[in-house]
């Protein structure tokens, strides 16, 4: 919510400073937060618990908005999208391999796959480019599934869903490593994602047969009730204030 409140002011400010200083700001943020380790920065955006803080959203908005506003041709190139995906993955994997070989104790400090890091940003932007340049199609099934994807964020971003999954599914990780652990993680991720979609699809079904069938939508009725109540309160206050004003005169 705070990020959405700040976006209009941030947009105006970035437009006013122009492409040159916007580019310098974006490049500086990428150097500081995209490459360097998290330890030296007390107020890093990955603290606590790698949470998606307002700082992270502002950082991504500043960097991605520069590309969107001033490099539109690149964002339409599928070759550039492929370069970002392959380059981001290669850079991240090679960097981690080098750090494991040269200095194992620094592996965690130089982990480059947090949301703020350049490999993650590059791969994400590359996928967005591919999605944006893909021939437009329409599918009721895809649209319905897409309408339920917010449930995954709502159920797990707050922390309760993640703790529940770790508590109930922790036994799957016991004694596993290597390729088996990787396959288990992938299977669990797909299963949890599908379960969240199913929960929201069921919620939509319940709303369809209950709330949406009411002639006066529930939220409009509630808004009308609150509005009428506030109007009565304000009118009462104004009448009382007016009488006191007449007496004082």
- Reported as a pLDDT band with limits 50, 70 and 90, residue 229 is confident
Which is it for the CA torsion 32, 36, 41, 45, positive or negative?
positive
| pLDDT (tens digit per residue) in 105-131 | 555 555 677 778 888 899 999 999 998
Is 114 a domain residue? yes
C-alpha distances out from residue 37 to 50, 117, 122, Å: 13, 9, 18
The residue range of the domain holding 121 is: 1-136
Summarised one tens digit per residue, pLDDT across range 35-85 is 765 554 444 454 444 455 778 888 889 999 999 999 988 888 999 999 999
Q: Does position 243 have pLDDT exceeding 60, yes or no? A: no
**Confidence class of residue 168 from pLDDT cuts 50, 70 and 90?**
low
> Burial code of 216-235, b = ≥16 C-beta within 10 A, e = fewer?
eeeeeeeeeeeeeeeeeeee
Calpha distance 50→83 (Å, rounded): 27
The structure's pTM equals 0.58
- 23 near 69, Cβ under 8 Å? no
46: number of CA atoms within 13 Å, CB side?
18
In a domain? residue 111 = yes
Please compute the mean of the pLDDT values over residues 210-224 and round it to a whole number.
71
Q: What is the dihedral sign for C-alpha 133, 135, 138, 139? A: negative
What is the reported pLDDT for 249?
39
Number of domains the chain is built from: 1
Flag whether 9 is in a domain.
Answer: yes
Tell me what pLDDT residue 45 has: 53
Overall average pLDDT of the 199-220 stretch: 78
Overall average pLDDT of the 156-175 stretch: 63
Residues 6+ apart with CB under 8 A from 133: 76, 77, 78, 81
Cβ atoms within 10 Å of 194's Cβ, excluding its own: 12
Residue 112 belongs to some domain of the structure: yes
Residue 92: how many other CB atoms lie within 10 Å: 19
Task: Considering only residues 242 and 41, tell me which one the structure prediction assigns the higher pLDDT.
Answer: 242
> Does residue 119 lie in a domain region?
yes
34 contact partners, CB below 8 Å, separation of at least 6: 116, 117, 118, 121
Please indicate, yes or no, if residue 21 is contained in any of the structural domains.
yes
pLDDT (tens digit, 9 = 90+) per residue, 140-165?
A: 888 888 888 888 877 776 556 666 66
What is the b/e burial string over 179-193, where b = at least 16 CB atoms within 10 angstroms of the residue's CB? eeeeeeeeeeeeebe
In a domain, 79, yes or no: yes
Residue 92 lies in a domain: yes
pLDDT of residue 85: 94
Mean pLDDT of the chain: 77
């Amino acid at each position: 919510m705070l990020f959405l409140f700040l976006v209009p002011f941030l947009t105006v400010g970035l437009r006013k400073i122009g492409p040159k200083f916007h580019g310098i700001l974006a490049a500086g943020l990428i150097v500081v937060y995209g490459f360097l380790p998290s330890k030296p920065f007390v107020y890093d955006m990955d603290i606590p618990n790698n949470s998606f803080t307002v700082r992270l959203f502002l950082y991504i908005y500043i960097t991605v908005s520069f590309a969107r506003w001033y490099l539109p041709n690149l964002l339409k190139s599928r070759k550039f999208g492929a370069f970002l995906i392959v380059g981001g993955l290669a850079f991240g994997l090679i960097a981690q391999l080098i750090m494991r070989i040269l200095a194992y104790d620094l592996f965690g400090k130089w982990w480059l796959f947090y949301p703020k890091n350049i490999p993650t940003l590059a791969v994400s932007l590359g996928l967005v480019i591919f999605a944006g340049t893909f021939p437009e199609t329409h599918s009721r099934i895809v649209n319905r599934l897409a309408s339920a994807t917010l449930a995954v964020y709502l159920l797990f971003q707050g922390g309760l869903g993640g703790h529940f999954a770790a508590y109930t599914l922790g036994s799957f990780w016991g004694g596993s490593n290597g390729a088996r652990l990787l396959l288990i993680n992938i299977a669990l991720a797909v299963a949890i994602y599908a379960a969240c979609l199913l929960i929201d699809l069921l919620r939509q079904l319940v709303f369809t047969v209950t709330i949406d069938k009411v002639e006066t939508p529930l939220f409009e009725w509630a808004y009308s009730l609150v509005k009428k109540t506030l109007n009565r309160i304000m009118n009462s206050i104004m009448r009382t204030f007016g009488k006191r004003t007449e007496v004082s005169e």
